[in-house]
Structure 1
Amino acid sequence: MVQVLPQGWLSYGMQLPIQSQSTIYAEPWEAGAGADDLAEIARTADRTGFAYLASCDHVAIPRRLADAMSTVWYDPVATLAFLAGITERVRLLSHVAVVGLRHPLVTAKQYATLDHLSGGRLILGVGAGHVREEFDALGADFAGRGAVLDETMDALRAALGQDEYPEHTGKRFSFGDLGQRPRPSQPQVPLWVGGSSPAALRRAALRGDGWLPQGDPRDRLPAQIARLKALREKAGIAEPIEIGAIAEPLYVGQPDWNTGRHTLSGRPDALAESLRDYAAMGVHQVQVRFRSRSRSELTDQMAAFAADVAPHLN
């Protein structure tokens, strides 16, 4: 297994705005934002100690889901490669890549190149996907997507190591004697598994270097983490796994506008105390999202979090 976060430390990262604009979380200002805004947000994260920046993956959104999901979903490889060129230390996470939509050698070529160009900063987060029309349009197996993802992870584990001629033999994919360069800069690219269903939790436990829960509230996380650890123990896996959580929306300070009833706001030490509860559950990294009305307010919030909240997390 591959560890990338400091041990015994609660790290913090964030899903990028702009690159995905689901109505569940997008702020109104994001609709008119673009590359310059993404670049400034990435530079702020790089400068202020964020562990990672994350980008989502959807190829095409069916009309029946467009009102809720929107059709704005940047390609994660292109987006993260763009940001790799203007940052130095922040890690680059696909959260999550629907790798079952593509042959694993295609995925390996794209992400190995990204890891190589970024100097070894990639974390490949993977998930099963949920939009049937995407799979149908691309000729991928929607009904069997869980089994496809399991085998794809095994194939990627081989193809994202250091062998120039990786080998894999499975039910769906087989390859050997096919060279791919450049190789990743990391000895092995970490694979984090997204999702909170029983199948996703089992996949993370048995195949993942990390777990990215999707929408688990605080009161559900301890039981999920206990289940994850029990599955690994039963399978005889002794290596640690990097466990994540998605925090409630945040606002550092007292907002003078309605940030929503689920937003955590207030003094930095109080916010840190609340987030430390995640560490007490066994979480290693918390994904934060800030309420904002503009790019400048967002980057101000990021900087305030890093300067005033983060020092109290550990």
Structure 2
Amino acid sequence: MDFNHFLSSYYPDPEYGGRRLYADMVEQAVAAERLGYRGVTLPEHHLINVLLTPSPLLMAVKVAGVTERLELVTSVVVLPLHDMRILAGEIVQADILTDGRLVVGVGRGAFAYEMARMGSPIESSKEKFDESLDVLIALLTGEEVEWHGDWYDFEPLTIM
């Protein structure tokens, strides 16, 4: 049986500092690899005082630089908060920079107040998530993608 370690971004005390929090997360990842874990999971949270990880892809690239074999799993990239045309390119770049160890987990968001603060109400997140996932898959698997939907409308483009 394989296990992943969740890299918590819990930040209860501003005195602790973001630099220290991220260093702890990286240290946990190194320990997880040393202990034989299959991978680490990286959350995404915005504008919440006690959770501080706006970019799981950036953290994945950092962790890849100090580990050799860990899978780097986003848990989760909140699709309704992103433009899929930008995110698709960022995913491809992060996958290259992590030597193919990136595993992208996606979701629609967990906290209504977080989603509202980001301008993406939880009430519409299911519909936006559904289309965003379809667009993301098309962009990551297609050579040239055109889309005309409720949330996305663009002429043919290639992400990389």
In structure 2, the partner of 1:11 is 2
How far the C-alpha of 1:57 sits from its partner, in A, is: 1.0
What's the secondary structure of 2:45's corresponding residue?
coil
What's the secondary structure of 2:74's corresponding residue?
strand
Q: Name the CA distance, whole Å, in 1 between partners of 2:82 and 2:23.
A: 30
| Runs of 4+, deviation exceeding 4 Å | none
Asked whether the 8 Å contact 2:147–2:154 carries over to 1, the reply is yes
1:57 and 2:44 correspond: yes
What's the secondary structure of 1:110's corresponding residue?
helix
In structure 2, the partner of 1:21 is 10
Q: TM-score, normalised by structure 1?
A: 0.45
Asked whether the 8 Å contact 1:59–1:134 carries over to 2, the reply is yes
Asked whether the 8 Å contact 2:77–2:104 carries over to 1, the reply is yes
In structure 2, the partner of 1:81 is 61
Q: Name the CA distance, whole Å, in 2 between partners of 1:51 and 1:176.
A: 40
**Aligned partner (choices 39, 42, 47) of residue 26 of structure 2:** 39
Q: Name the CA distance, whole Å, in 1 between partners of 2:91 and 2:111.
A: 23
The count of residues paired between Structure 1 and Structure 2 equals: 156
**Aligned partner (choices 150, 169, 174) of residue 153 of structure 2:** 174
For each residue in 1:137-163, what CA deviation from the matched residue of structure 2 results, as whole angstroms up to 9, or x when unmatched? Answer: 4332431101111111111111122x3
How far the C-alpha of 1:176 sits from its partner, in A, is: 4.1
Gapped regions of structure 1 (runs ≥ 5): 1-9, 182-314
Q: TM-score, normalised by structure 2?
A: 0.81
Q: Residue 46 and residue 174 in structure 1: after superposition, are their counterparts in 2 closer, same or farther (change >3 A)?
A: farther
1:118 and 2:98 correspond: yes
Asked whether the 8 Å contact 2:45–2:52 carries over to 1, the reply is no
**Aligned partner (choices 91, 113, 119) of residue 139 of structure 1:** 119
How far the C-alpha of 1:74 sits from its partner, in A, is: 4.9
- Let me know the Cα RMSD of the aligned residues: 2.4
In structure 1, the partner of 2:88 is 108
Structure 1 letter corresponding to 2:43: C
- Greater strand content: 2
In structure 2, the partner of 1:129 is 109
For each residue in 1:211-258, what CA deviation from the matched residue of structure 2 results, as whole angstroms up to 9, or x when unmatched? Answer: xxxxxxxxxxxxxxxxxxxxxxxxxxxxxxxxxxxxxxxxxxxxxxxx
1:91 and 2:82 correspond: no
Q: Residue 157 and residue 36 in structure 1: after superposition, are their counterparts in 2 closer, same or farther (change >3 A)?
A: same
